[in-house]
Copies of this chain bind each other. A is one copy, B any other.
Amino acid sequence: MNRHVPLRGIIGYTLTPFRTDGKVDLDKLQTLTGRMVDSGVHAIAPLGSTGCLPYLDDEEREAVAEATVKAVGGRVPVMVGVSSLTTERTLHHARFAERVGADAVMIIPMSYWKLTEEEIFRHFDTVARAISLPIMAYNNPATGGLDMTPEFLARLLEIPNVTMVKESTGDVGRMHRLRQVAGEEVAFFNGSNPLALAAFAAGARGWCTAAAHLIPELTLELYRQVVEKANLVEARKVFQQQLPLLQFIVKGGLPRTVSAGLELLGTEVGPLRAPLLPLPKPEVDALRRILGEASSHPM
């Protein structure tokens, strides 16, 4: 049976940088992606929330997927976000990702109208049948507007190539519940940054995080301490060290805060796409302080 789970550890979510003329900056995207791979993360995930997926048009999405796969060059797995409001567009982008060499795709069901479970199931099932890549079902009601219960996620996992779940509700109880209903071997990943330690303790295979743009070494160290060494005392120490940054990027919104953080670290990443605005100055100052304290070297 084909329960392929190509991911584990720190899955780095990449920002989509823009040029000053408003177009996607593919060169900068490849630089950022390459640098993140160099930092040691275990996988790369373009076109997620951090990548501003829903604000890009079809051509831009395809270009980002293709450029990312090239920049990674097979060094680590690439999981491409292919979500769209309609099933037809989701399917289109899933096929495109497969064609350009992605290792997995991620799908978050998105709402304008609240979807019924039957609608969400058919949405996944239709896309899953059209590709052979493994699919990560992504639950994040705060952005996608739809909430999938552990029981429903277990049902989705019965689709042969839906092999992974990403949980971003911030409720670690959901993860334990998922193990209860889908079996102890279920491959679930954490998408809620401030829950990183608790999720690994609960058995998460990996942590999907844009923090890998700013503090890759701390995210990797947490993984090492809690998963590889089972050293909870050290794990708590390294987690508390990065927690203010994790809280900050969640509270301020990933594109705004990660862009600002990258610029503080010396990399210009261009404007955000309207209506998104750059992080306000007082918050940039707060971020500078938090980033300095997390990395323990002056900025």
- Which residues from chain A sit less than 8 Å from chain B, CB to CB? 22, 49, 52-55, 85-88, 109-116, 118-120, 122-123, 126, 142-145, 170-173, 176-177, 179-180, 184, 194-195, 197-198, 201-203, 226, 230-233, 235-236, 239-240, 243-244, 247, 253-255, 273-277, 280
Contacts and interface: CB of A to CB of B under 8 A. Distances in A.
Given A195-B173, A197-B201, A240-B179, A274 B126 contact: yes
B226 A85 contact: no
A276 to B, nearest CB: 6
B277 A176 contact: no
Contacts of A54: 85, 112
* Shortest Cβ-Cβ A-B pairs, 3 listed: A201-B201, A87-B274, A123-B275
A24 to B, nearest CB: 13
A50 B239 CA distance: 34
A123 B277 CA distance: 10
A184 B38 CA distance: 33
Contact of A197 (B109, B202, B233, B253): B202
A49 B112 CA distance: 8
